[in-house]
Structure 1
Amino acid sequence: MSWMNLSREGDVWLMTLCHGDNRFNNESMAAWNEALDTIEATEGNAALVITADDPKFFSNGIDIEPILATHGFPYFLNDFAPRLEALFLRVARFPMPVAFALNGHTYAGGAIMASAGDIRFMRADRGRFCFPEVNIKVPFTPLMTEVVRLLPNSAGAWEMMSTGVAWGGEEAVAKGVIEHALSAEALLPTAMAWATEMAKKDRATYTLIKRRFRVALDVYLSK
């Protein structure tokens, strides 16, 4: 079973996660980086939309129990977690417009990944957006905190981080942490339409503006 499908419509790349609840582990992170390598290596203006094909989940976060059972906590802390942070950082600084079309539950590491995008579209009728870390006693790392700060409303982001509340699409939009809540039928077409327009922007100029706006992330580039 593959981890994702990658396709292209004109200047818009579409990455579709296709592995159930799409948790992060060594295999899925390798697939993420391979797909991003392919997209980044292409020339010319472009944009990226990331979604999933499961009717219930976008991503349920880290596949932590098998990782700990197989490799132990020191490995998780010193090897796996830094590589996952590097993936979040890569998406947050990715050299083109990046939209997330959140088709279902987006929890923990999945929600941090969605925070790294430039814009988020979410189903209004199904799925929740949640940072449960405070409830499971897993503090955010400094880099993860900075990525979550990229959400459009810092007060809403803090409420989510500090309480572990899970919001549906309409409430997440009302709280300002998600930009658009849409029907299932409109979700992907709307995200693709946004990406089609944004792909008309000069890629080098957009990338420079984006990275300067997110300059707080630069401190993590050498770590």
Structure 2
Amino acid sequence: MSWINLNRDGDVWLMTLCHGDNRFNNESLAAWHDALDTIEASEGNAALVITADDAKFFSNGIDIEPILAEHGYDYFVSDFAPRLEQLFLRVARFPMPVAFALNGHTYAGGAIMASAGDIRFMRADRGRFCFPEVNIKIPFTPLMTEVVRLLPSTAGAWEMMSTGAAWGGVEAVAKGVIEHALSETELLPTAMAWAAEMAKKDRATYTLIKRRFRKSLDEFLPTS
């Protein structure tokens, strides 16, 4: 079973997560990077839409129990978590416009990943957006905190981070952490239309503006 399907419609790349609840583990991290490598290596102006094909989930976060069972806690802290953080960082600084079309539940690491995008579209009628870390006693790392700060409302982001609240699309828009709540039939076409319009922007100029606006992330770039 594959992790990601990658397609291109004109200047818009569509990256579809296709592995159930799309948790993060070693295999999925490799699949993410492979897809992003392909997109980044393409020439010319472009934009990216990231969604999932599951009827219930966009992403349910880290596949932590199997990772701990196979590799242990030290490996998780010293090896896996830093590599996941670098994936969040890569998406947050990705050199083109990036939209997330959140088709279902977007929890924990999945919500942090969605925070890394340039804009978020979410179903109004299904799925919740949630940072449960405070309830499961897993504090945000400094890099993860900076990625979550990219959400349009820092007040809404703080409320989610500090309470573990799980908001549906309509409430998430009202709280300012999601930009658009849409019906199932509107979700992907609207995100694709946004991406098609944004793909008209000069890629190099857009990337420079984006990375300067998100300069707080520079301290987390690898030094070697």
Report the TM range for the smaller structure's normalisation: over 0.9
Tell me which amino acid in the other structure corresponds to 2:111.
A
User: Where does the alignment leave 5 or more consecutive residues of structure 2 unmatched?
Assistant: none
Residues 106-145 of structure 1 show CA distances to partners (whole Å, capped at 9, x for unaligned) of: 0000000000000000000000000000000000000000
Match of 1:164 in 2: 164
Cα shift at 1:71: 0.1
- 3-state SS of 1:50 partner: strand
1:1-223 equivalences in 2 (<5 Å): 1-222=1-222
Tell me which amino acid in the other structure corresponds to 1:167.
W
- 3-state SS of 2:152 partner: coil
Cα shift at 1:222: 2.4
Structural RMSD (CA) = 0.4
State the alpha-carbon separation in 2 of the partners of residues 109 and 73 from structure 1: 17
State the alpha-carbon separation in 1 of the partners of residues 175 and 57 from structure 2: 21
- 3-state SS of 1:150 partner: coil
Residues 158-192 of structure 1 show CA distances to partners (whole Å, capped at 9, x for unaligned) of: 00000000000000000000000000000000000
Cα shift at 1:218: 0.1
Tell me which amino acid in the other structure corresponds to 1:93.
R
Query: Which TM-score applies when normalising by structure 1?
Result: 1.00
State the alpha-carbon separation in 1 of the partners of residues 17 and 131 from structure 2: 20
Percent identical residues? 87
The count of corresponding residues between Structure 1 and Structure 2 is: 223
- 3-state SS of 1:21 partner: coil
Query: Which TM-score applies when normalising by structure 2?
Result: 0.99
- 3-state SS of 1:106 partner: strand
Tell me which amino acid in the other structure corresponds to 1:101.
A
- 3-state SS of 1:22 partner: coil
